[in-house]
Homo-oligomer: A and B are copies of this chain.
Amino acid sequence: MRDGQSTRRRIDDAALRLFVAKGVTETSVRDLAQAAGIAEGTLYRHYASKDDLVADLFAGNYAAFARRLAGLERLDDVVAEVFRFHDENPTLFRFLLLVQHQALPRVPDGADNPVSVLKALIERGIREGAITLTDAALGTAMVLGLMLQPATAVVYGRLDPPLSRFAATISAACWRALNPPKDTDHA
């Protein structure tokens, strides 16, 4: 370690930054080593391969994010927490978005998957009658869209940060998306 930061940490930080800025495939091990201030070979003392680095980086942070959401009882709190997470570290948020979308092995459903956590909450809402929409998968997709697309707009500069200031508006939109006027719900 050096400068009060472990080599591992330096690699992770550089990786996150470069992956978001240039894309995973477009970032070479040489780029990573240079940005982290280490030798190329050193990376392999910490990760078995570049793919491994990507997978570890994703899995760890994705699960940590899921755990942040896991305890929450209300949809409003989920939206607020997601936005807070984004505002704390937009780069990490963007990395999760990016890599999830891309050619990576699908993460299985479960407690480590933020999407699963959200879906479970919605399913409970439906079961308990608090949500009238009957299709939980559709509801999850809509709520996801209401959160992620504004986040993307912030990333691309089409909306000014912090994202948190939209929490109330978007919470309301989520709520109403999940509780459509009777005759609009599809069979």
Which A residues are within 8 Å of any B CB, using their own CB? 22-23, 25-26, 98, 101-103, 106, 133, 135, 137-138, 140-142, 144-150, 152-153, 156, 158-159, 165-166, 168-173, 176-177, 180-181, 184-186
- Name the B residues within 8 Å of A180 (CB-CB): 169, 172-173, 176
Please judge, given known A-B contacts A23-B102, A186-B166, whether A150 and B142 are in contact too, CB under 8 Å. yes
Taking the nearest CB of chain B, how far is it from the CB of A156, in angstroms?
8
- Name the B residues within 8 Å of A135 (CB-CB): 169
Smallest CB-CB separation from A187: which chain B residue?
B165
- Name the B residues within 8 Å of A158 (CB-CB): 137, 140-141
* Shortest Cβ-Cβ A-B pairs, 9 listed: A145-B145, A145-B149, A173-B177, A172-B184, A176-B176, A141-B153, A141-B150, A25-B25, A144-B149
Contact status A150-B159, CB under 8 Å:
no
- Name the B residues within 8 Å of A177 (CB-CB): 146, 173, 176-177
Please judge, given known A-B contacts A23-B103, A103-B22, A146-B146, whether A169 and B186 are in contact too, CB under 8 Å. yes
Taking the nearest CB of chain B, how far is it from the CB of A184, in angstroms?
4
Give Cα distance in the complex from A140 to B22, angstroms.
26
Smallest CB-CB separation from A179: which chain B residue?
B176
Give Cα distance in the complex from A180 to B22, angstroms.
37
Taking the nearest CB of chain B, how far is it from the CB of A131, in angstroms?
13
Task: Please list 21 pairs of residues, one from A and one from B, whose beta carbons are closer than 8 Å in the complex, sorted by A's number.
Answer: A23-B102, A25-B25, A106-B156, A137-B153, A137-B159, A138-B150, A138-B166, A140-B153, A141-B149, A141-B150, A141-B153, A141-B158, A142-B146, A142-B170, A144-B149, A145-B147, A145-B148, A146-B146, A148-B149, A169-B184, A172-B181
